[in-house]
Structure 1
């Protein structure tokens, strides 16, 4: 005799069965451990600094390190985000006070992988509580194998911090239907920290307010909003108060007025947001999104705050990325936090339907959901772990051996200097050459069609030339070739001579200022 089918409403249960609550940690912990291995696998070949370093992670870690040395963002150097990430990455940056900066960053890369593993656990935990074990494991696997998330969780990016804070916020906000002052305040603190890392974190507050009826959650919501505002003020206020006009220029005006960059075609952005490299997970997430929408339209249904919460967070995230003036596919990493949980909901919905056809069918659907959640994404994560940057490793060896430690060194990408243990130096250190040049171009009030046009503006190039002339050594590389105009390249080569690598070898190259003619 076949067991009685589970009613369709079962996957939407807001709490897991009581008997399973003591055991639900172990599967999620094992998946989280596997996720850490997937991320840290990139460091097993030639060490954490043998893996390619993205421009952004070099900026964030260098800025955090300079902050600990007394150079303040906005006042002393340009930084175009709120300062939360600098404070949260400060434990790793603090190692530069006693150890080589390259060693400190290697430790921080392992820590970033651990942050990613925590995100996996939190995504699985909130889905398990809402819809049961299958949903929790699918959500955890979907996040673990999310290619864009894995890439940024190998370094000091903004998205790992943003995701762990937003998922922590969701776990507290959705932990129970019973109001709790402590949970409301704790959720607000995490949300305030998330917004202090990156302003789009505020979209999760909108999702939280839409997830529960206002009459039921008014007290919790007010506590959460007050705690979030207070936390944001404590984190951002001191640094913003020391340079208020520069803070507004860097964080608000720059992001609002910057020229478009990255992929501008909305159709291609949409394809990247739902890319086939995450095919199984995307299908499950869309099923979950549809189920959440259908549930919201049923006036006779009980409230299901978790499904509404993550559906709102996901839709707001997609809308934000489509509307943004700037888009790079690494931004998709933030979607992993909501998309993975919706994939868990989609798996629960499919499993509920399959139980109508018996145990064998339901087990087959559960197995397919678990496999689909992590395939083919896991293959892309493993494949990306094999990337190496031998030219940067060779440059780092040369810098250590041939460039005096006290010599002024400017790198167009701060990660290139960081690989050799060098942080940006100077009375006015340039941490983010890209943003610095854009700010110089935008200071005239001109509007530009794209970033390339802005970087070619005379104001951007003149300020750059002053900066380059002040340093004895310059690491040019592909980024420097891009940021220099055809008019500036001859100027540069008249004043600098290439020292590494020799010959016409491509890759990241070091140049030294020519001695003055006598």
Structure 2
């Protein structure tokens, strides 16, 4: 029966992921995974704006899935979401009764932060699943039932989460440091487990130190300040706190946090929760997926709270109301007017037909590289970050941009055998301005514009394609 429940949850998450509208955040993660599947390495061969584990780990998915890489990556994230919920449930069962564990896991599964993060081909589901999978072992260590093998696994999982997304480095480091004061957590073995993901990260750094530092450390700090320079209110502390409150309120996270805070005791779970909240609030601005590192330990702590002292009717009503609110954004997204994945795949097929007709076989420059796998083409490495570096304005000098294979709108270039526009815009939560700028650059360079029938896409081909040489023939 338990296996059937988890299978049903995985299927539900999978269906939601396939039905969720397209988000331009998916662009860089699909592109990086596809390029890694071709043997290219992040930072050395293409820019990547996160720690390196996800594209390297999921490259075989892209290699197998081929044209279906984008939906395949969404399905993988859906399955990882179910793993995260299972980790919370298992940890809650280890520390509370089965009833409280089931309630806490169900409330976690209904949070908008989780549903959005695992419904797109982003890099949120993998680190969340790794963190949540470590929690049952953390609970056992707290109860002095942990072994050295458990400690190795905890280090491997938490460091693996940090190797997939930089914001998980703070919870991982906080747990590692706190374990030094709790010998029952076997800190040397935690460090041993963490050494493998750390070695992977160090290896990619040594391959391309400049690209690594820029993508992992420099860009996340400076790029938002650049993009929101004309909207400074978005960078204010007041808006940050308001956004965090709003995202926590879309689901049971907010009442859960208030309940847990009333009876908070020092523990490894408390350390992970506090570090997750700090990690969520450090970036500016704060987006909903940034809160995900805090939610797994929060809902395990909620299960403990429910088990030790069940809340009164008012709190139970609040949990139910906020849980219902957490489902609202997903329902609204599914009922909205945006571009959906099935439509996107059909449009990619139309793009493929147009590129085939134009005899364009090489990599394509585009701000929406997530559309290219189904079009049978690779993205140019210079546009592997989708719109996210292109929209920046002189974060790097011209020489550094060329060295790191990056292109900004202030110094546009046209690499590749064609340019594809039409996938970046408000219909994908992006900006119409960026595709318009790229199209204008192509027009000014004399590239020929070819509409893709039945879609909003347009292909630009170099002048050589605009005026092909005639085929020689002999007169009789």
Name the TM-score class by shorter chain.
0.7 to 0.9
Write the distance in 2 (CA, Å) between the matches of 1:369 and 1:440. Answer: 45
Q: Unaligned 5+ residue runs, structure 1?
A: 1-25, 297-304, 355-363, 446-458
Match of 1:66 in 2: 35
Match of 2:339 in 1: 389
Evaluate the alpha carbon distance shift between residue 117 and residue 149 of structure 1 in structure 2; reply closer, same or farther with a 3 A threshold.
same
Instruction: Indicate which of 162, 167, 189 corresponds to 1:223.
Output: 189
Q: Deviations over 1:158-198 (max 9, x none)?
A: 21111111112222122241352111111111122111112
Q: Give 1:189-200 correspondences, 5 Å limit.
A: 189-200=156-167
Match of 1:240 in 2: 205
Q: Does 1:500 align with 2:451?
A: yes
Instruction: Give how far 1:508 is off.
Output: 4.1
Q: CA-atom RMSD, angstroms?
A: 3.4
Q: Give 1:307-318 correspondences, 5 Å limit.
A: 309-318=268-277
Q: Does 1:328 align with 2:287?
A: yes
Write the distance in 2 (CA, Å) between the matches of 1:113 and 1:129. Answer: 25
Write the distance in 2 (CA, Å) between the matches of 1:316 and 1:291. Answer: 18
Instruction: Give how far 1:91 is off.
Output: 3.3
Evaluate the alpha carbon distance shift between residue 258 and residue 106 of structure 1 in structure 2; reply closer, same or farther with a 3 A threshold.
closer
Instruction: Give how far 1:89 is off.
Output: 1.8
Evaluate the alpha carbon distance shift between residue 466 and residue 473 of structure 1 in structure 2; reply closer, same or farther with a 3 A threshold.
closer
CA contact (8 A) 2:252 2:319 kept: no
Instruction: Indicate which of 170, 181, 186 corresponds to 1:203.
Output: 170
Match of 2:256 in 1: 284
Write the distance in 1 (CA, Å) between the matches of 2:322 and 2:305. Answer: 10
CA contact (8 A) 2:260 2:302 kept: yes
Match of 2:231 in 1: none
Match of 2:323 in 1: 374
Any idea what SS the aligned residue of 2:460 has?
A: strand
CA contact (8 A) 1:152 1:160 kept: yes
Write the distance in 2 (CA, Å) between the matches of 1:145 and 1:38. Answer: 12
Match of 2:81 in 1: 116
Instruction: Indicate which of 354, 360, 385 corresponds to 1:402.
Output: 354
Write the distance in 2 (CA, Å) between the matches of 1:70 and 1:514. Answer: 27
Instruction: Indicate which of 12, 16, 24 corresponds to 1:42.
Output: 16
- Aligned positions, number: 437
Match of 1:16 in 2: none
Instruction: Give how far 1:279 is off.
Output: 5.2
Instruction: Indicate which of 55, 58, 61 corresponds to 1:89.
Output: 58
Q: Unaligned 5+ residue runs, structure 2?
A: 229-233, 399-406, 468-476
Instruction: Indicate which of 432, 456, 461 corresponds to 1:513.
Output: 461
Write the distance in 1 (CA, Å) between the matches of 2:251 and 2:410. Answer: 47
Any idea what SS the aligned residue of 2:413 has?
A: helix
Write the distance in 1 (CA, Å) between the matches of 2:51 and 2:354. Answer: 37
CA contact (8 A) 2:28 2:386 kept: no
Match of 1:414 in 2: 369
Any idea what SS the aligned residue of 2:375 has?
A: coil
CA contact (8 A) 1:496 1:511 kept: no
Match of 1:266 in 2: 237
Any idea what SS the aligned residue of 1:511 has?
A: strand
Instruction: Give how far 1:250 is off.
Output: 2.5
Evaluate the alpha carbon distance shift between residue 79 and residue 187 of structure 1 in structure 2; reply closer, same or farther with a 3 A threshold.
same
Write the distance in 2 (CA, Å) between the matches of 1:438 and 1:402. Answer: 27
CA contact (8 A) 2:127 2:168 kept: yes
Query: Radius of gyration: which is bigger?
Result: 1
Write the distance in 1 (CA, Å) between the matches of 2:180 and 2:463. Answer: 71
Write the distance in 2 (CA, Å) between the matches of 1:118 and 1:369. Answer: 27
Any idea what SS the aligned residue of 1:403 has?
A: helix
Instruction: Give how far 1:139 is off.
Output: 1.8
Instruction: Give how far 1:346 is off.
Output: 4.2
Instruction: Give how far 1:473 is off.
Output: 3.4
